[in-house]
Amino acid sequence: MTEQHTTSTRRVALVTGGSRGIGRESAERLASDGFAVVINYAGNKTEAEAAVAAVVAAGGQAVAHQADVADEAAVAALFDAAEEAFGGVDVVVHAAGIMSLSPLVDLDLDALDGMYRTNVRGTFVVDQQAARRLRGGGAIINFSSSVLALAIPGYTAYAATKGAVEAMTLILARELRGRDITVNAVAPGPTATALFLDGKDEETIARMAAQPPLERLGAPEDIAEVVSFLAGPARWVNGQVLRANGGII
């Protein structure tokens, strides 16, 4: 684990999938908001350490910790590491996820199982630890996708996993009655990250960028703005799915 050993009285945010894309942008934004940040990564230690270095260079506090989000022992150890480094956890941003695209009729079932493990079980495991450990006044922020409402062919399995995320989010918000912890999900539209761009030709990307009334793809910082809102001032927003997609739906 890469870390700074200074214990902080600041609020603490744990960001899964925090080494790249929306997760990294969210981690850097929360650090700029004054959070100490725990950056979880699945396998790319170099990218995670670069994310920590960016936070530290900007005057923030950060640690990196590897964990498979679907492994309950690894996720418990991730929360242990956050508590050891900074004294507790206030906000969990669960941005880790994978996507395999195929019509239902052709999808390899191993790909389905992989998405289920990371996107569904991973969300359940991370939220379970968050529900057990978050301090009062905290926030759990899951990630769905606007593709769930768009119903685009080829996204059957991925959208199904995000439907499960939305169900968990809405119910957990109610299960945490009396804890002063909000639970919401962000549902980005097409956003210029490696997860979205990989495997798409320029014509497809241009067509999807033209769909929202704002006529562009989202940027990771657009989504990080919503995360910042839910992590901080949005104490009366609870049990909701915020569709950050430029008006595409």
**Cα separation, 16 vs 218, whole angstroms:** 20
Residue whose tokens read 């009285």: 9
- Of 20, 181, 166, 31, nearest to 95 (Cα)? 20
- Helices within the chain (DSSP H only): 21-32, 45-57, 72-86, 109-115, 122-133, 147-150, 156-175, 194-197, 202-209, 220-231
Residues marked active site are found at 158
**Cα separation, 198 vs 156, whole angstroms:** 18
